[in-house]
Structure formats: structure tokens, C-alpha cells
Chain A
């Protein structure tokens, strides 16, 4: 069981009328990894994830999530939902309940719920435990969403754009929470708009555009980033000079010799994930 992938998708297609939102996707997410799905709005990200979550039916293709077809109805489908956790995008439900009431209630749905108070402290809502859900800030609301997503001790967690609207500090502490969940053994499928988020969290990223996966790689190697020329900049005669080089170390060594030691305002810049990503989806437009 532990060697089977958490998610296995082959030839996934989803058509709406004559329009195809997902046009043949293959995807494999291993147990215990954080996989980030990147892509512009309308690329097919949400459709793909909602098929994996069992919210939508595929037009064609084979989908296995924890070894199970998410489209299965009835009792077997319910049992499967015990093993997954879904963190939804933008909801405003349960407004009149308190944080504690909401989380305790959802704990009842699962066979092996986690300890309610422990989950509340993990997501950092201890101080808001008796607050009404309607009184929470956007960030606190997302933390509640995560708490509801993990209360059932899921083996696999779906996180759909979890930090949209967060301030930088809130985002950092949210990342720590995701890393904590990974260290506890959960597999996480994350969709995000933020490249720094994918870079900080993901073991692998998949870029999706026009309903197709363009590339799957680690954040370090996506789009040939590890081999792409780096920019070396320095100050010389009062102006900033720069060269692009596949071998920046050699350039720096040469410069160091020329300046006899200290190179003024030296910078070596590798293309960041965002630049690589924008190039990838731009090329295809």
C-alpha cells in the first residue's frame, strides 16, 4: 500500500460542451510528498483538482486517488472521504458558530478524528477558540478551513490556493504549518498562484496550461532553471556592468583576479522560478 502513489492520473479529459477544460493530463503524486500545481487562471487547475476530490466527474481517463476512483458514489465513497482532507477556496459558511463548535462538529464525521484542541493550536487559533466564525479575519478564516481539512487525520490533503490574501508574515507561518503536516506523514496537493510558495514548500511542481501539463520537475530544475545562464553584475568605473554566463563561477573568478580581490557590488542572479514560469506559460500563449 505504501508503495502505491497517492494520486495516479492517466489521460484525464474534462469537456464542457465542445470546450475542453482538461485536455489529457497524466500525473503521479507519491506518498508523503508536497506536489504543487501551478498555472494561470482558467488553465484547468481547479477542474483537475475538483475531479481528484470527487466534486466533478471526468469525461475520460483513469483517476486513482489513494487507490480509489473519486467518482464512486455511496458508502464506499464515504469511506474514502475519511482518508482525504479538502481545504476549499473562499467559503463563508458556519458564520454563526464558534471556531470550537465548528471544528468539534466536523470531528464527528470521521472515523479517526484528531484531537480538536491540538488541531486548533496547530493552526494557531487558540485565542479565537470561542470567537464566532463571522468575526474571523481572512487569514484566520483560512486557518479554520485548514483545521477542518485536517481534523479527520487525512492521508492526503488538497490545498486550493491556501494563502491568497495573506500578509507576508501570515504566509510564512502558514508555510510552517504545511511543513508540519508533511512531517507528520501527509501527502499534500497544493495549487497556488505564488511561485515563492511553490518554491518554499513543494518537492515537485507541475505547470499546467490550456488543460495540459507542460512540465513536471523539482522547483530547482523546472524549465532548465539549474542550467540556465546566470546574470553576473558588478560595479566598474561608476557603472553597473552585467554578463550572462552558463558558468558564473568562472566569471566571478576572472573578475576577482582582475580586481585583485574584492569585486565591487558583486551579484550573481539565477533566474527565479517566477521568471522561468512566466516564460513557460508565455511561450505557449
Chain B
């Protein structure tokens, strides 16, 4: 019990330190937190059409951006910064102290949670203020929103830790990770209406969590009758929960099995 308390205590201290470091890096602050908002401005201003009765493209886009925000703050951010920490000696130094690896992961997860909350709040604020986003009014939608956020960011976090072994160097990490995220965003119906994509693209996207997250977020932010316009003709909520849970389990196993303290 004592050891668990200690691990959590150090994990909380690490999360404080991680947030402090994050907020002091202007590039990452702008790139990770404000980039989705900037995209919202661009896409919201360019595409002002209505894609279905009562549904503007901006609304469709905000749902997709909230979903891909989870991928940005978790997967992308961790898969880029962990290789950098492997290169600059952060991980090696921590490895030589009594700090446990669990504390390190707690720190990272809380950082992701913190970033995710800020980013989602920014998107919802600017979406409603400037692009006519309607927030859900029923409890069921907010409940879906809550579990999607929790399951989605958990998934995104563990997959980011797992993927952090792939980039060979910290400097090259962004070049490896960012294209994957951008391609998934295109394929998963963030920048385009999903049903307008070629079938092979839709099927490929359905293998990964982002497609399910965007579809889930549409169920939260778009009118119920829009469901008939989805590929399956409904929101596929149960299947979304299943796919995300499978990815979460796969991610946890990969993260534990493959995590590397050093490059050697």
C-alpha cells in the first residue's frame, strides 16, 4: 500500500512538473493546443455550406476536431516528446533514480488529461461563439461525450507511449508521427464528410480509433436524424465502445512490453 501511495504521490508531482514544462515551451503550446482552433477558423470560414438540413459543415467539423484533439494531445504529443526525452537524457536520468515507471506514466496521463480538457474547451467555446455549434441539451448525449473522451484519451495515451519506440531519434519523431495523424484525420472524416470518401478509405479508417471517435462525437453534436446519413445508417455506439476498448487493451500491452528507457 505504501509503495502504491508513493507511486501516486510521485506521479502527481511529475504531472505538475510536466505541465509546467509544457506551458513554458511556446512552440508546443501553440502547436498542440491552438492548432485545432486555428484549423477550425480556417475550415469554418472557408466551408460555410449546409451538409444536411440544419447541419453546417462547421458543426460537422467541430465534432471531428474534438475527436482528433484527443489524438493530438495524447498519441501525437507523447509519440513525439517521449523520443525527445529519450535523446536528451530525461529518461536515462529518471531510470537511475528510485522513481517507478508507473509514476512516469501517471505524470504523462495527467498531462494528456490536462491538455485534452483545455483543447476541448477551446474548441467548444470558439465553435459555439463563432460557428453556430449547438451544444447537446440532453443528458444521454453528455454521457456519451464523457465516456468517449475518457476512453478516447486513454486509448490515445497508451498508443502514444507504445508508438514512442518507433521514431529512431527525437528530432525525427515529428516527421514520423505527424503524417500518420494527418492521414488518419483525412481518412476518418475530420476534414471531409466521411460518407463522401471512397469506400476503401472508409474501410481502412475503420481499423483505427479516430474514425470511431469522430463518428461518436457526431452522435453527440449533430441532430439525431443525421444518423441515417452515416455509412451504417446509425451511430454504431456499441461498436464504437468495442473498437476503442480493443485498442485500449492492445495499447496497454504494447506500451508495457515495448517501452524503452534508452535508444541503444
Contact = CB atoms under 8 A, between A and B. Distances in A.
A96 B95 CA distance: 20
Contacts of B25: 96
Contact of B96 (A86, A93, A96): A86
A106 B92 contact: no
Given A78-B100, A79-B98, A105 B13 contact: yes
Contacts of A78: 98-100
B89 A96 contact: no
Given A93-B85, A94-B90, A96-B25, A55 B97 contact: no
Nearest to B90: A93
A56 B263 CA distance: 12
Contacts of A94: 21, 90
Given A81-B98, A96-B21, A101-B20, A88 B92 contact: yes
Contacts of B88: 91-93, 95
Interface residues of B, number: 24
B17 interface: yes
Interface in B181-213: none
Nearest to B85: A93
A194 interface: no
A97 B262 contact: no
Interface of A: 53-56, 75, 78-79, 81-82, 84, 86, 88, 90-97, 101, 105-106, 108-111, 148, 152
Interface of B: 3, 9-10, 13, 17, 20-21, 24-25, 85, 88-90, 92-93, 95-100, 261-262, 264
Given A81-B96, A101-B17, A148-B93, 16 more contacts: A55-B92, A55-B262, A75-B3, A81-B98, A84-B96, A88-B92, A88-B93, A88-B96, A91-B88, A91-B92, A93-B89, A93-B93, A96-B21, A97-B21, A110-B97, A110-B98
